[in-house]
Structure 1
Amino acid sequence: MRTAFIHGETGRYEAARFELVTLFTQRHPDEVSAELAMLLLRDKYARDGLLAHWTEADVAHFVAQTAPREALLRSNWAALPEFVHHWLDFLAEEDLLTGDPLDALHQTVDAAAQQYLAGMADPSEWGTEKFWRTAMIERGIDETDVDAVAEFATLVENGEADVDEELAERLDGDGETEEEALWLPPVQLSGEEPHPEIAADAPIIQQVAAAVRWAESSGDPSEADELVEALGDTTTADLVLEWCERTGLLRMSDERIVPTLIAAPMLEEPGLLWTRLWQRFVLIEDAFREQLEDVDEDALPEIVQTLLSVLYTATEPVPVDALIDFAAEALELEDSEALDPVVRTIVTQWIAMDAVHVADEDEQSLEMRPAGQWAARESLRAFGFRVPTVDELGTAPAELIALLFAESPPQTQRALSEQWIAHRGARQAAADLAGVLGRVDEPGVRLAALAILEYAGEEGVAAARGLVEDECCGAAVRVWLQAAAGLEATRAGDEFAVTLDGMAATLEGGLEEFIADFSGQPTEDQLSLINEMAKAETSSATTLLHALGEYHPDEKVAAAASAALS
């Protein structure tokens, strides 16, 4: 069973949630345990996706903030802290709990209990859903009665429901749980945050200074030729003017653009100005509105988010055309041509900030500079992504490390493995990885965990020896032991089982790529391979046969795969 979900994976998460809640309620069959467990798992899934990894901060947040906002306990408010104590003990007993020591987590529950009770007693700390559910319950309205709920809604709309409308409006949408946690692969940042040292020389600072000087001397929008000439073209001039307004350097006064009081001192602080310009970039939508009118006038934040996530995690220069395609995919556009001028305008401004530079003029490929990487990291966090660095993952659970390892380039994989093992200690790291191998029957996780285990040296070999008979991972471990330690451990069928794991990992990465690879072989070879899959009786074989039976373009091959399943 997987307990870490870094890209949503709703189906797998729901299966894990069902299994965890079922196991827990078998031990604690009281009437509120299932409801509270569902709330706790939904909240953790949205916060970081790590269902079994609990820190003191996680516990405090759930008890003192999430529970008062969302838990509707009609009696016995003490049931919530008691439930959390039981939940932590349950995870520890199942050998699933990772994070801070169990004793420290229990102490945190007790410490947060008073704040929890205060929040339960204060409707201003509740979420919108809890507020309205409480209002209906108090008035004897059955939540499952559609007509009664509609009648209540009409009373509310007409101001006849006798509820605190001011509080309801204040709570509207406040603190609602996000759908899922989204992680980006880890990166290694270079040095300290380098804004101040690059800012003074960044072309954007000179452009802003030119706009402020023009505002001081003229500021008449109808007489902007001097500014256009200084900045190169009308598009850039309009963009920089709006950018300056959003940053608080310029304002409108009697149909003229004039400098604000903070304009001159801000120009004397280029590091601060650079940061403010970066933070306000997603707000300059008016400058892009005409370019986006055939797409979506409000699409700028999503385009920026997409470009940043691609450039931030890239390990080699990214062609501008590829960035345009990524943005079109994010917006679900069939034709990326409409985004061409928008993306090129955005990257031109980032180049002017020295956040991005052209790595290859001929191919028009871009890569992040250190200042851009640091700034992009904070922006992506603001967009809601989990954006770890290699250095920050020393205390992360082994399952998360395996998932991130699988998405990282080779140089990052090595640094991630070595630093994580150094922090955990080789013996503990090997034991943690062995636990993942025995618990998570997924090929991508299995192959990644074994690859990381190799960095644990002799401790990794010792941990692997204990898994050679494991039904879930035994075949892969035996092949690994023979390759990594020279032990004659493999048995008939092991190599093929590992081959199937590799194919299933490709399928996890993308159905189209897997089908293309598989169908690229001669038909007879495909049919022979399907016949061997039918004998393998592994989870990977079953997964592959399902995909081939449903999606293979050749009816003969698809039929063979479907028949092999039965």
Structure 2
Amino acid sequence: MADNWVETTAGDLRRWADERGEKIDGQGARLLLDLAAREMGLEGPDALTPAALRALLLEVFPDTVVAGADEVPSVLDTLRAIAAFLGDTGAVTAERAAELAAEIDRLGPEFTEVVAATDDAERQVAAEVVAGLMEADGVPLDDQDAVEEWMRGFEALPDEERYARAEEYLRRTEDLVVPPVRLAPAADLAEAARRCGLTAEVRALAEWTGERALTELDELTAADAEAAVAALGLATPRRLPDVEVGDQTDLPELDRLWWAATEAEVIRAEGGKAAPGPALPDLGSGDDERVLRAWLRLLDSVAVPDHDPSDGLDAIELVQNELTGVLIHLYEQEEPATPAELADALLGHVAEAYEISDERSLAEAVRDALDLELADLARWGVVEPAGDGGRALTPLGVWGVRELLLADGFTAPVVGELAGASAAELVAGLAWHRPETADEEIDGWLASHDVKDAAADLLDVMRGGGPGARNLAAAVLHRVGPEAAPVVRAAREHPLVSPYAALWLNAAGDPAGRELSRAEYLWVFVDTVAGMLETAEPAEAVEAALVDAPPGAEMREMVDELWRTDHPGVAEVLEALGDHHPDKATAKAARTAAYKARSARAAGSGGV
């Protein structure tokens, strides 16, 4: 039905323009009419009212069309032509046509602002994606010729391939995000690096080695390896019992330290000779940056070994290969993890990544091997006891693991770094924070911004962002002081902001505050859950949404009403409620309502 009136109207509009000798963007007109039919549920051109125009321009168009600010005049001119055509042909009264024309003129500045904000955000995201794709392909971003050559090749790809590459990049980028952490002061970290066991053992090995002959593999001879272990007092629990030392690799603990020292250039081993390396003085330097840089290279070597899985790994080598996963697990956890919990997580990954013939025997061996690794990490100053038998990263360990994550392309936020950010950057960054660190970030941001400026910037984010950004910006806005009332009052007319502005004004006791209408309340509920669905699993989003939702029969009644809500995400929200609401009757009602919402949109007859 929607296609019929849209196609008919678009054809009549073209003929009308031709007869008058006027040019019209036929494709643009068809798009606007289609949005009115499919996204807003208008059943014909006569249903186009000033209110519908406002929703079309300020809500539907920015959410569904990728457009630049330079295209706004053309869109407005096309709408003016549609309004004139409808009045000329009697599809609407002359009075309605005049109202439409006047509303288009009134909406022009606000529509321009919304499209510009959306366009800027989209361009920024697109630029970040393109830069990320270049870096992944090894293109130096400061090499203009290389950048231009890559861009020519990328733009020559079929649209489908470019979109697929961008989607894969965004998916991978989202996976490469870890929770924010607090970092100790650099001076404290450097002092910890100077004093830790890893530094002490590597320095002792380098000083003991001095200048001496090595094997053809640039390793210590068997005799020297045994002498080094004795001189350093190095425990060797991984050494095979009753096996004569034939070469350095028969003493795994020493072998690991040796290669860490050589890779970090604390020892120079080449041409069959050993000598102190250029990084040896750095480990005892008074320069904090030099100490940390040298220590990080040691950590990188001992935590990221290069055993080849195709050669067949014993339990010790397997655990060492997966040690970075253990460190990331500790980095991401809010609470300390016990060795048993770490072993279970490691074994779960091993079961997925390797072919295992005897899982029971391997599990026991892996637990023993992990205990050895944890003991080494504790001695090296990376891990420490915490809680009831748990383990946690030391401040130095947190810093080191974060540096390794950054080197691997992870986004690894630090608590406090958003204080000087823009409102858009704050909202984007808060998506990765836990509640307690989010509160800290918000407090820091508000403290460094003028109240009215903060409110204005947050409202801009709410106008141009999606549900998730709108939810977070609204949450921050509620922490802004009452001095922002004039700014919030001025934003009440924007359809995406109006309900949130009313809530803020009401909470602030402002005379302009008011209770939300039932339709607004339902819209805010849908907007809130839709925002949660952007970053959380549906089950988690529903659980969070139900904390403040009405109970029992009242919730079922609300679900029955939700499908009529004029929100593009209502069907997805209802589907999530249908799949995960704990009350069976409410879940069933939500599934039915989701079907109604999708059917109404498909038929072009949905929403109020």
**Alignment partner, residue 33 of structure 1:** none
Asked if 1:385 corresponds to 2:394, the answer is no
SS at match of 1:358: strand
Distance in 1 (alpha carbons) for counterparts of 2:430 and 2:155 = 43
Q: From 410, 418, 422, give the equivalent of 1:397.
A: 422
Distance in 2 (alpha carbons) for counterparts of 1:483 and 1:332 = 53
Equivalent runs, 1:5-404 vs 2, <5 Å: 19-21=65-67, 24=70, 42-45=126-129, 47=131, 65=142, 68-71=145-148, 126-127=149-150, 130=152, 180=173, 186-212=180-206, 215=209, 219-221=220-222, 224-225=225-226, 230-233=233-236, 234=238, 235-250=252-267, 258-262=274-278, 265=281, 268-269=284-285, 272=290, 275-284=293-302, 285-286=304-305, 293=313, 304=324, 311-312=330-331, 316-319=335-338, 333=352, 348-360=375-387, 362-369=388-395, 371-404=396-429
From the superposition, tell whether residues 47 and 63 of structure 1 become closer, same or farther in structure 2 (CA, over 3 Å): closer
**Alignment partner, residue 499 of structure 2:** 475
**Alignment partner, residue 570 of structure 2:** 541
**Alignment partner, residue 453 of structure 1:** 477
Distance in 2 (alpha carbons) for counterparts of 1:452 and 1:259 = 58
Contact 2:178/2:332 (<8 A) preserved = yes
Distance in 2 (alpha carbons) for counterparts of 1:264 and 1:65 = 33
1:4-57 superposed Cα distances (whole Å, 9 cap, x missing partner): xxxxxxxxxxx989944555567799xxxxxxx9998643235589xxxxxxxx
1:429-457 superposed Cα distances (whole Å, 9 cap, x missing partner): 11000111222240x32232122123321
1:495-520 superposed Cα distances (whole Å, 9 cap, x missing partner): 55444444444433112434678999
**Deviation of the 1:227 alpha carbon:** 5.2
From the superposition, tell whether residues 412 and 41 of structure 1 become closer, same or farther in structure 2 (CA, over 3 Å): closer
Equivalent runs, 1:511-550 vs 2, <5 Å: 511-514=538-541, 528-548=557-577
Contact 1:185/1:387 (<8 A) preserved = yes
From the superposition, tell whether residues 239 and 557 of structure 1 become closer, same or farther in structure 2 (CA, over 3 Å): farther
| Stretch of structure 1 that moved more, 458-467 or 246-255 | 246-255
1:238-281 superposed Cα distances (whole Å, 9 cap, x missing partner): 322221221223465788x8454547645644864553232243
Distance in 2 (alpha carbons) for counterparts of 1:459 and 1:307 = 48
**Alignment partner, residue 80 of structure 1:** none
From the superposition, tell whether residues 237 and 65 of structure 1 become closer, same or farther in structure 2 (CA, over 3 Å): closer
1:167-203 superposed Cα distances (whole Å, 9 cap, x missing partner): xxxxxxxxxx997586655554333343432233211
Distance in 2 (alpha carbons) for counterparts of 1:223 and 1:464 = 75
Distance in 1 (alpha carbons) for counterparts of 2:399 and 2:494 = 44
SS at match of 2:352: coil
**Alignment partner, residue 169 of structure 1:** none
Counterpart amino acid of 2:443? Answer: E
Contact 2:179/2:412 (<8 A) preserved = yes
Distance in 2 (alpha carbons) for counterparts of 1:482 and 1:21 = 35
**Deviation of the 1:352 alpha carbon:** 3.0
SS at match of 2:433: coil
Contact 1:45/1:180 (<8 A) preserved = no
Distance in 1 (alpha carbons) for counterparts of 2:560 and 2:68 = 37
Distance in 2 (alpha carbons) for counterparts of 1:249 and 1:64 = 32
Distance in 1 (alpha carbons) for counterparts of 2:545 and 2:153 = 54
SS at match of 2:384: strand
**Alignment partner, residue 81 of structure 1:** none
| Stretch of structure 1 that moved more, 516-525 or 552-561 | 516-525
Distance in 1 (alpha carbons) for counterparts of 2:493 and 2:269 = 75
1:335-375 superposed Cα distances (whole Å, 9 cap, x missing partner): 99698677666655443342442222x34231441x33444
SS at match of 1:563: helix
User: Considering only CA atoms, is the larger Rg found in Structure 1 or Structure 2?
Assistant: 2
**Alignment partner, residue 243 of structure 2:** none
Contact 1:247/1:276 (<8 A) preserved = yes
**Residue identity (%):** 21
Distance in 2 (alpha carbons) for counterparts of 1:316 and 1:546 = 33
Counterpart amino acid of 1:560? Answer: T
Contact 2:381/2:397 (<8 A) preserved = yes
Contact 1:242/1:287 (<8 A) preserved = no
Contact 1:212/1:263 (<8 A) preserved = no
**Deviation of the 1:401 alpha carbon:** 0.8
**Alignment partner, residue 166 of structure 1:** none
Distance in 2 (alpha carbons) for counterparts of 1:431 and 1:368 = 41
SS at match of 1:365: strand
1:295-334 superposed Cα distances (whole Å, 9 cap, x missing partner): 9x99989963x56666556554355566667778889938
From the superposition, tell whether residues 451 and 202 of structure 1 become closer, same or farther in structure 2 (CA, over 3 Å): same
Counterpart amino acid of 2:503? Answer: V
1:369-417 superposed Cα distances (whole Å, 9 cap, x missing partner): 1x33444443333222344545543442312212322432344333322
**Deviation of the 1:232 alpha carbon:** 2.2
Contact 2:428/2:469 (<8 A) preserved = yes
1:30-88 superposed Cα distances (whole Å, 9 cap, x missing partner): xxxxxxx9998643235589xxxxxxxxxxxx9994764344xxxxxxxxxxxxxxxxx
From the superposition, tell whether residues 421 and 551 of structure 1 become closer, same or farther in structure 2 (CA, over 3 Å): closer
SS at match of 2:392: strand
SS at match of 1:456: coil
Asked if 1:417 corresponds to 2:442, the answer is yes
Compute the TM-score of the two structures, normalised by the length of structure 2.
Answer: 0.56
From the superposition, tell whether residues 514 and 328 of structure 1 become closer, same or farther in structure 2 (CA, over 3 Å): farther
Contact 1:501/1:540 (<8 A) preserved = yes
Taking only aligned residues, the RMSD between alpha carbons, in angstroms, comes to 5.2
**Alignment partner, residue 408 of structure 1:** 433
Contact 1:245/1:251 (<8 A) preserved = yes
From the superposition, tell whether residues 459 and 277 of structure 1 become closer, same or farther in structure 2 (CA, over 3 Å): same
From the superposition, tell whether residues 440 and 262 of structure 1 become closer, same or farther in structure 2 (CA, over 3 Å): closer
Counterpart amino acid of 1:562? Answer: A
